[in-house]
Amino acid sequence: MSTKRYREKFTFWLNLTNNSEYEIAEQITELKRKRSFSKTIRDGIRLIYDLRQGNTTVLVELFPWVKENLKPQETTGEKVLREQLERLERLLIEQGNKPIALPATTSLSETLLDEDLPSVFVQDVIADPAEARSNFANSMGDLFADDSDDLWDDEDDATLITTNKDTKIDSTQNAINSLSSANP
């Protein structure tokens, strides 16, 4: 069984009085000399068709270095936020906390908007004010207890220095005493 090859030839014209088309004609001459004209035409048509369809698959296939350039650039605000988060993470790790492994993403904004973040970052909590006051009061201990029940007194009562205020002399007498000692 003989298979017949089917090939088709396409012809197009260039207006050599137009500078841009003249440059294309020179590039075609160079491509033909290198025997890469047909491959370049096929790749070019594939690329244009793919891009018009909204795809970049052929672009990345032909030019892999473009993929890195297509990534969104970090804004100044994102950079500042990233640096603050890194600083906080270092501080938490220094305090003995274990780092949280986040999914790899292409930009910080994708990480911050991700709904799969650990609950430590996203918590909708409505606190009961009465419960908050009660928790605060309980954590402070009994500040107004008698001396024997004082939770904050960690010293022995025998070693405390006490001062007594003499209230027998009134304020007028104190003023006269201080004036007489000032003028000899």
pLDDT per residue as tens digits for the range 116-137:
545 444 445 566 777 777 776 7
Look at 183 and 39; give whichever has higher pLDDT. Answer: 39
Per-residue pLDDT, 30? 95
Look at 8 and 169; give whichever has higher pLDDT. Answer: 8
Q: Which of 147, 148, 99 is nearest to 120 (CA)?
A: 99
Residue 35 has pLDDT above 90, yes or no: yes
User: CB neighbours of 143 closer than 8 A, spacing ≥ 6?
Assistant: 152
Per-residue pLDDT, 141? 61
Cα dihedral 22, 26, 28, 31, rounded to 10, equals -160
Q: Which band of pLDDT confidence, cut at 50, 70 and 90, is reported for residue 75?
A: confident
Q: What is the pTM of this model?
A: 0.39
**Is residue 169 helix, strand or coil?**
coil
Residue 63 has pLDDT above 50, yes or no: yes
Calpha distance 73→82 (Å, rounded): 13
Per-residue pLDDT, 117? 47
The per-residue pLDDT of the chain, averaged, comes to 74
